[in-house]
Structure 1
Amino acid sequence: METREQLLRSLAEVEAWEKAQNDLWFWEKLGRLPFVLLDRVTPAFIREKLGMAVDELAAFLETGGKYLIQDQAVYSRFRSKADPLQQASYGATTVADSPLSLMNEVANELRDSRATFATVQGATTGIGGLFTLAIDIPLLLGTSLKILQEMALCYGYRPEEKRERLFIVKCLQFASADIVGKKAILDELSRFDDPAAQKDVVAQLQGWREVVLTYTENFGWKKLFQLVPIAGMLFGAYINRSTVQDVAEAGMMLYRKRRILERLK
């Protein structure tokens, strides 16, 4: 296990990353435009798919829906790196007690793997522009939710628990929020495991739709760049890769910070 000094150094790295999250790319700034304007310029079928995304995220929060993943695929990565005598016992508790360096290693591997998958997915669905974009939106949402669950498992948390699914959706929101939104989310998540703040979780669950709308407004603007056939392949590959990388990094850093703070206590 890490020493207190090592944990504090790791915490400082995460906090430096948090301070760096202070601006948005051009297309993300477009997502800050009034929702009415966004609604006017977004094709009806994209609005329909984004509406379905809201419903699917609601199902994910409530039950895990079709996006809840199996944990053994993640735990097998830990087993492959563990001492042969410990491999059979690897599970949620063992992962939670693993060295932070091992957690980071597996999380980085999963982030890179999902980003590569998203690149191919975006290029493939971007070829047809308008006609294949309808396929891409639920696929990218699913990839984003899956990588965040994998980040949770890497740091010893259980996505099948409702509170953890709320944390995951908060990470999803953080990845596309502006600087004001990021600060508000960081403040909420810093008190996530505080017993005195547990009652706020119910209120946050009731307000999930606002969380989702913040994400889908921004998400819709990114997808508009994929409407041009052939050129959409390049936009799709880049946008999907950067989206999944941003989501994975947010989950990795926020879960890492949470685990560090627990160990410091």
Structure 2
Amino acid sequence: MNTYEKMIFEELKNWEIEMTKRPSLWNKATKSIQTKINEKIPQKVHDVITASMKHMIKATLVGSEYTTKRTTQLEAELRERDEKLKERLAFYKKTAAVEGAGTGAGGILLGLADFPLLLGIKMKFLFEAASIYGLDVKDYKERIFILHVFRLAFSDPHKRKEAFEKVVFWKETIHEFPEHPGAIENMNWQELQQDYRDHIDLIKMLQMVPGLGAIVGAYANYHFLEDLGEVAQNCFRWRVLMEQNRES
């Protein structure tokens, strides 16, 4: 490892501690509140999120909707990849903020439209981020990895350690899945979409409040992409460094 990679490795060890620590009392309290919130949200909203999640997962595994070219050469240094990701993340955060402000200003109907639109922005970012760190996003197995990165970013604090281990022990995790995408229905997308809903429900409900929608929508979407960017970068950094270590 060079000096920069050693610095990043230390950062990743601190990140591992953060990802694997036990849920706090606050996490446990908010989980109870979130359950009550879910019960009060109109079924139409739940249906939109569920349908959007299922479509996104299918498109991720078997579609060409998010396919992108590798934007960084395979032999590029980690620092170069990190700089490229920072540049692209800034673009996606602005895009998400504009989209959130626009749909937030339009009331409930446009607010509902924000769910699939924001999902699309997040997945396009993840595919581009994966390509920056050298993953072949046309590979079915790498697409499953991308879904696991997404799951970790929006995981329930009580499930975060498990989600984290699925990512860092990827060579073992991938054996749990079939060799081809034909068995897509075997994937447990229900848990993934429920965790995602729990993560975004409260703030996105505020987005539908008249007078607050545009401000909340822009702020929420910007920070959702910021959080996703941090998790994605660390996951892909981990892959790069671990694979380099195995080859050396």
Name the TM-score class by shorter chain: 0.7 to 0.9
The secondary structure found in structure 2 opposite 1:110 is helix
Rounded to whole Å, the distance in 2 between the matches of 1:130 and 1:215 is: 20
The runs of at least 4 aligned residues of structure 1 exceeding 4 Å deviation read: 21-24, 26-30
Q: 1:257 aligns with which of 224, 234, 238?
A: 238
Select which of 118, 124, 131 maps to 1:146.
124
Matches within 5 A, 1:64-213: 64=63, 66=65, 68-71=66-69, 75=71, 78=72, 95-194=73-172, 197-202=173-178, 206-213=187-194
Query: 8 Å contact 1:127–1:233 — kept in the other structure?
Result: yes
User: Partner residue of 1:9?
Assistant: 7
Instruction: Please state how far the C-alpha of 1:6 moved relative to its aligned partner.
Output: 4.5
Percent identity, aligned pairs only?
A: 22
Counterpart in 1 of 2:212? 231
Q: CA RMSD in A?
A: 2.8
CA shift for structure 1 position 171: 1.4
Which whole-Å CA distance do the structure 2 matches of 1:237 and 1:28 have between them?
28
| Secondary structure of 1:229 counterpart | coil
Structure 2: unaligned runs, 5 residues or longer: none
Aligned counterpart in structure 2 of residue 19 of structure 1, from 17, 24, 35? 17
CA distance in 1, matches of 2:240, 2:42: 42
Secondary structure in structure 2 of the residue aligned to 1:184: helix
Report how far residue 64 of structure 1 moved: 3.0
Q: Which amino acid aligns with 1:128?
A: G
- Cα distance change on mapping 1:163 and 1:222 into 2, 3 Å: farther
Gaps of 5+ in 1: 79-94
The one-character-per-residue Cα deviations of 1:106-127 (angstroms, maximum 9, x if unpaired) are: 0111111100111111111111
Distance 1:237 1:198, change over 3 A: closer
Instruction: Within 5 Å, give how 1:32-43 maps onto structure 2.
Output: 32-33=31-32, 37-43=36-42
- Contact 1:28-1:218 at 8 Å conserved across structures: no
For 2:202, the equivalent position in structure 1 comes to 221
Q: Which amino acid is the alignment partner of residue 199 of structure 1? A: H
After TM superposition, the score normalised by the length of structure 1 is 0.79
In the TM superposition, residue 225 of structure 1 has moved relative to its aligned partner by 1.3
Residues in 2 aligned to 1:151 and 1:214: alpha-carbon distance in whole angstroms: 22
Q: Measure, in 1, the Cα distance between the counterparts of 2:37 and 2:131.
A: 36
Distance of 2:79 and 2:232 partners within structure 1: 16
Structure 1, 218-227 or 184-193: larger mean CA deviation? 218-227
How many Å separate the matches in 1 of 2:228 and 2:164? 15
The one of 224, 227, 237 equivalent to 1:243 is: 224
Q: Deviations over 1:197-223 (max 9, x none)?
A: 542234996333322322133233331
Q: What's the CA shift string for 1:26-80, capped at 9, x where partnerless?
A: 89974x34886344311233112112112213312431353x1332xx62xx4xx
SS of the residue corresponding to residue 59 of structure 1 reads helix
> In the aligned structure 2, how far is the partner of 1:231 from the partner of 1:28?
28
Aligned length: 238
CA–CA distance in 1 between the matches of 2:97 and 2:79? 27
